[in-house]
Structure 1
Amino acid sequence: MNNTSENTLSKVPEVTLIFWLIKIAATTLGETAGDAVSMSMNLGYLLGTAIFAAIFLVAVIAQIKAEGFHPFLYWTTIIATTTVGTTLADFADRSLGIGYAGGSSLLFALLIASLAIWYRSLGSVSVDTVSSPKAEMFYWVTIMFSQTLGTALGDWTADTAGLGYGGGAIVFSALLALVAAVYYWTTLSRTLLFWSAFILTRPLGAVVGDFLDKPVDSGGLALSRYSASAVLLVFIVLCIMFSRQSAAKKGH
């Protein structure tokens, strides 16, 4: 019985190169799709957030009720967090007027609090342990905060810090490369490095998404948000179909 427990599969995928490729594509899709609904459709940030929050709740409930890991359901839920994170961050930063720095600071505090409560409740924040409803709730709340933080941080870097979309992409790519180097060349906590990389992929996706669809005079390529979102979605679907992702094993 103990042997079975030790080998219980979690309900999240193994962290491999394809995981990170899909994650970056999903975060970029979250930016373009979120902007498509709130800006291109002129629904506004508040209504856009309400729409994506409803989708997110349905996806999370389905994910928690599911038995075992299902790649399409998992990545649908991830995409839902990126889209609601985009519109929610934009609503807080722009509509509420707290600014990118204020929004980033608030969301960073919420993210750290979520991880701290998760750790205190279950003794670990490793994704390998996400196999119970309680762990899943903490997992998705933490991801929700990280996705929203990433949007605000990406916008702050590109706009307020004046680096532009290209400069922001270089900064976050360099930070991700640094995390990868630390992973391969040191014995620093793998859980810490995972969450660091997970958080950093969101602002990278934010600035890349803005680079694709923002006007040329603002430093973007002025591509259609709808077509960019469609291409990214097709890429994600193909990756899921042909990558044969498996669930992470507890204790690994």
Structure 2
Amino acid sequence: MARSGTMTYETPGNTALPAVDEPAPPQRAVSRLNKVPEVAVYFWIIKVLCTTVGETAADLLNSDAGLGLTGVSVLMSALLAVVLVVQFRTRAYRPGIYWLAVALISVVGTLISDNLTDNMGVPLETSTIVFALLLAIVFLVWYRRERTLSIHHIDSTGRESFYWLAVLFTFALGTAAGDLVSERMSLGYWLSAVLFAIGIAAVALARFALDLNAVGSFWIAYILTRPLGASIGDYLSQPTADGGLGIGTVVTSVLFLAVILGLVVYLAVTRRDVTEHKPVNRPAA
């Protein structure tokens, strides 16, 4: 009988032959591909552009197209669900699908916060606290299950589920907190954008100069890019009487979508934002 990786053989005369070590099972390399892009300059540029589009597109569909918050929310949520199904079914990072999901989740996150404020009368202070708590819960459960919050290893359905849920709440939290700061401080669109840009710069400085935790600094910056992009979008699209440049939501949305499309096509061709991965040794079946 076999014990501890060895096997003995008995002869008809009940004389046991010396044990022979069984060979270890062969190993095979398993490539686990990351489902999100490398965090570099292109990542942050497109992220800010997507948040800008999220703000202007929500305003365009809500006010200019006359769909109302409820109609826009249903439409955008349905589109997001379809795109996320496609995203989850892909086996590796695909720039077009990934950034389309980010753009749509930016709109949906904005609409969630706007619905609570405008349709339900929930104070911005309350919604900001609630979204912060929900995001903290997502991070806590994510870490307890996976032992990491790093986006360099979004290589399973579970981790990807936590990732997109966290992204949704960062957009909702960024919207509520950004509106709260802008309204309470009455800074206007341009100065608000400068304030949030300074906040992101401070996080970057703390990361590289003071060795702030990489994962924590990433998610803080990710949250702050939402009000930064929204402030830029509002400054460009809103009427001059309200402190904007008066370009309009249509032109602003089309302009930023064109830039996003150009960058995504470039990345799809060059693959400059594809995360390097290493094979993982697993026993052969």
The C-alpha deviation readout for 1:13-38, integer Å capped at 9, x for no partner, is: 00001110010011001100111111
1:55 aligns with 2:79: yes
Q: Which runs of 4+ in 1 moved over 6 A?
A: none
Partner of 2:97: 73
Partner of 1:204: 228
1:39 aligns with 2:66: no
Partner of 1:95: 119
The C-alpha deviation readout for 1:161-209, integer Å capped at 9, x for no partner, is: 2121112111110011111112221322111111111111011111111
Give 1:119 deviation, angstroms: 0.8
Counterpart secondary structure, 2:34: strand
Give 1:100 deviation, angstroms: 1.9
TM-score by length of 2: 0.83
Determine which of 29, 42, 65 is the counterpart of 1:18: 42
Give 1:71 deviation, angstroms: 0.4
Give the 5 Å matches for 1:161-180.
Answer: 161-180=185-204
Distance in 1, Cα, partners of 2:83 & 2:141: 23
**Structure 2 counterpart of 1:125, one-letter code:** L
Distance in 2, Cα, partners of 1:123 & 1:109: 20
Retained in 2: the 8 A contact 1:158–1:167? no
Unaligned runs of 5+ in 1: none
**Structure 2 counterpart of 1:203, one-letter code:** P
Retained in 2: the 8 A contact 1:157–1:164? no
Partner of 2:132: 108
Counterpart secondary structure, 1:14: coil
Give 1:2 deviation, angstroms: 7.8
Partner of 1:246: 273
Retained in 2: the 8 A contact 1:46–1:88? no
- Higher deviation after alignment, 54-63 or 70-79: 54-63
Q: 1:3 to 1:201 in 2, by over 3 A?
A: farther
Cα RMSD after superposing both structures: 1.7
The C-alpha deviation readout for 1:88-116, integer Å capped at 9, x for no partner, is: 21111121111222221111111111111
Q: 1:160 to 1:241 in 2, by over 3 A?
A: same
Give 1:4 deviation, angstroms: 3.8
1:236 aligns with 2:263: no
Distance in 2, Cα, partners of 1:15 & 1:188: 16
Give 1:249 deviation, angstroms: 3.9
Partner of 2:183: 159
| Bigger Rg over Cα | 2
Which structure has the highest helix share of the two?
1
Partner of 1:132: 156
Counterpart secondary structure, 1:67: coil
The count of residues paired between Structure 1 and Structure 2 equals 250
Determine which of 218, 234, 247 is the counterpart of 2:242: 218
Retained in 2: the 8 A contact 1:38–1:87? no
The C-alpha deviation readout for 1:39-61, integer Å capped at 9, x for no partner, is: 11121112211111111111111
Retained in 2: the 8 A contact 1:215–1:221? yes
Distance in 2, Cα, partners of 1:118 & 1:129: 13
The C-alpha deviation readout for 1:114-162, integer Å capped at 9, x for no partner, is: 1111111111111011111111111001100101111112222222321
Distance in 1, Cα, partners of 2:190 & 2:57: 20
Q: 1:129 to 1:218 in 2, by over 3 A?
A: same
